[in-house]
Amino acid sequence: MQKIILQTIRTHEMIQEGDSIVVGLSGGADSVALLHVLLQLREELGIKEITAAHINHGLREAAAADEEFVQKLCDTCNIPLQIFYADVRTYAVENSLGIEEAGRKLRYLHLQEAACSSNAKIATGHHQNDNVETVIMNLARGAGLSGLCGIPPVNGNIIRPLIDLTREEIEKYIHAHGLKYITDASNLTDEYTRNRVRHSVLPALESATGIDTVQTIAKNIAQLCRDAEYLDTVAHEAFSDCVIKPMEAQCASFGTPHTTLDVKKLTALHPAISTRVIRRAMPHLTNITSINTNAILSLAVKKSGSVVHIPGIVARKEYSNIILTPASSTDNAPPHFAPISLSIPSVHNIKDQTISLTKTPPDKFLPPNPKKPKLLCTKSFDYGMVIGTISLRTRKPGDKIILHSTHTLVSSSTVNLSTPKTFTKKLQDYFTDKKTPKHKRDSILLLACGSDILWIMDENNLTSTKYSPQADNLFWVSIWSDT
């Protein structure tokens, strides 16, 4: 058995020399076998330290006895033990979860807490039978390919060295080494879904087919994992192609974070890839269903301005793009920005950035900040053209910007090239020509002098020809990152 575990550890690169390991120790056969094996392989694997963590869920009368057993086992093995107490019932009610799911979430929260102090990896006793049971439950619930891949051998700092072993093989190991363990009486009942799958579904499948169901499904899981890995690789490349990145000239990011996808490129993909691209665009969300991804993809054939709400995300069709923005309590309304009057020189902190106005170039100026801010970009303007107060604000009725007729961002339909080299363009017309999403227009910051716009701080970073630096009387406006 140790050879199989060692092969699993090396195949999935679970443990590197010098790693510290926290074993999730319930006291059951699986976790006791895991602790024993890791202690046996400690020197060969170069493990720095092995500790244990026990979570008392307080759900059974035997919980105190389980805790006492684990404490004695760790004392015998000379292994440090951390004990955590979880109020599973209260957590389940407060978060609208079942007892099983609430217990699982709290268990991993406490295991992460145990690992945090020593930057350790967490080893859990999940085995092949657990994996097969999970896949059957996921299949019954309507999971996609990722759900049919079961329990990952490695998930972040969580490792599962027993994942290639059956429950029977672990029990044989336990008995061969005379290891003591405790039996959770709740595992013998059919109160929970997993127990019903274990006691009824799997035996019925074996009886009906005459094959070793666990081994067969485990082989299928391995094949599905390879397929999923390939599809994820393709989706990663497709995402890079579909996502619309701000122009490199952009330096101010005061608006709401969002991801923009090109509809034409997205819909040209195979559905197996396009749905993965959507999921990749929402990496912070974990409970996204196929219904959610299909709802977002349906925006592709809807008119501009159409919106889809899913848990945690607002998806919006804007012209030829789909924009994904984190949902907020204000239903994704643009944030209010109070206008700021800017004097020269002056420094202003806005969110995680700093804006400075100086009469000297930015390479001769550094805003007062102990973190040594990084210069993102700078624009220079003709101070002699400024009449009145410079302000940083969002749009107002009557805003306009003076541009050169050959500017690459000017729509040719709005300019008669026989007219003078400069002309005045309404800010509203600029937004329309650039197909700026309507919900974003009120949150784009502007450097203004009255109704004259000096700088439109969107992805184009357009500046006014009127204030172009053509004399010695200049001032610089610079954006600095505070992080």
User: In this structure, what CATH number is given to the domain that contains residue 17?
Assistant: 3.40.50.620
Number of domains in the chain: 3
State whether 453 and 406 are in the same domain. Answer: yes
Q: For residue 373, is the peptide bond before it cis, meaning its omega torsion is within 30 degrees of 0?
A: no
Range of the domain at 167: 2-211
Length of the chain as a residue count: 483
Supply the pLDDT for residue 251.
52
145 occurs within a structural domain: yes
Q: Which residues contact 47 (CB under 8 A, 6 or more apart)?
A: 15, 19, 20, 21, 38, 41
Let me know the angle formed at the C-alpha of 88 by 86 and 90, rounded to the nearest 5 degrees.
110
Q: How far apart are CA 233 and CA 227, in angstroms?
A: 10
CB atoms within 10 A of CB 358: 19
Stated pTM of the model: 0.69
Q: Which domain CATH number covers 269?
A: 1.20.59.20
233 occurs within a structural domain: no
State whether 84 and 150 are in the same domain. Answer: yes
Token digits of residue 109: 């929260």
Supply the pLDDT for residue 367.
66
State whether 204 and 102 are in the same domain. Answer: yes
333 occurs within a structural domain: no
Let me know the angle formed at the C-alpha of 49 by 45 and 54, rounded to the nearest 5 degrees.
115
Is residue 424 within 8 A of residue 410, CB to CB? The reply is: no
Q: Mean pLDDT in the chain? A: 87
Is residue 408 within 8 A of residue 457, CB to CB? The reply is: no
Q: How far apart are CA 368 and CA 480, in angstroms?
A: 11
Task: Provide the pairing of β-strand 259-262 with 321-326.
Answer: antiparallel
pLDDT digits 0-9 by tens, 50-94: 999 999 988 878 889 999 999 999 999 999 999 999 888 998 888
Q: How far apart are CA 21 and CA 49, in angstroms?
A: 6
State whether 385 and 284 are in the same domain. Answer: no
Q: Among 388, 390, 385, 386, which residue's Cα sits nearest to residue 341?
A: 390
State whether 290 and 319 are in the same domain. Answer: yes
Is residue 106 within 8 A of residue 86, CB to CB? The reply is: yes
Consecutive 10-residue averages of pLDDT for the chain (483 residues) = 93 96 96 97 96 89 91 96 92 87 91 92 96 93 87 95 96 96 82 89 93 94 95 96 66 65 96 94 80 92 90 88 75 65 87 83 70 81 90 93 70 50 89 82 90 89 86 86 68
Supply the pLDDT for residue 336.
65
334 occurs within a structural domain: no
Q: Among 17, 194, 188, which residue's Cα sits nearest to residue 99?
A: 194
State whether 200 and 302 are in the same domain. Answer: no
Is residue 441 within 8 A of residue 340, CB to CB? The reply is: no
State whether 253 and 377 are in the same domain. Answer: no
Last residue of a domain, one of 297, 326, 355: 326
Let me know the angle formed at the C-alpha of 458 by 462 and 316, rounded to the nearest 5 degrees.
140
Last residue of a domain, one of 158, 192, 211: 211
State whether 259 and 350 are in the same domain. Answer: no
State whether 168 and 253 are in the same domain. Answer: no
Q: Among 149, 187, 156, which residue's Cα sits nearest to residue 30?
A: 187
Q: How far apart are CA 450 and CA 152, in angstroms?
A: 59
Q: What are phi and psi of 365, to 5 degrees?
A: -145, 140
State whether 26 and 175 are in the same domain. Answer: yes
Q: What are phi and psi of 425, to 5 degrees?
A: -120, 130
State whether 204 and 272 are in the same domain. Answer: no
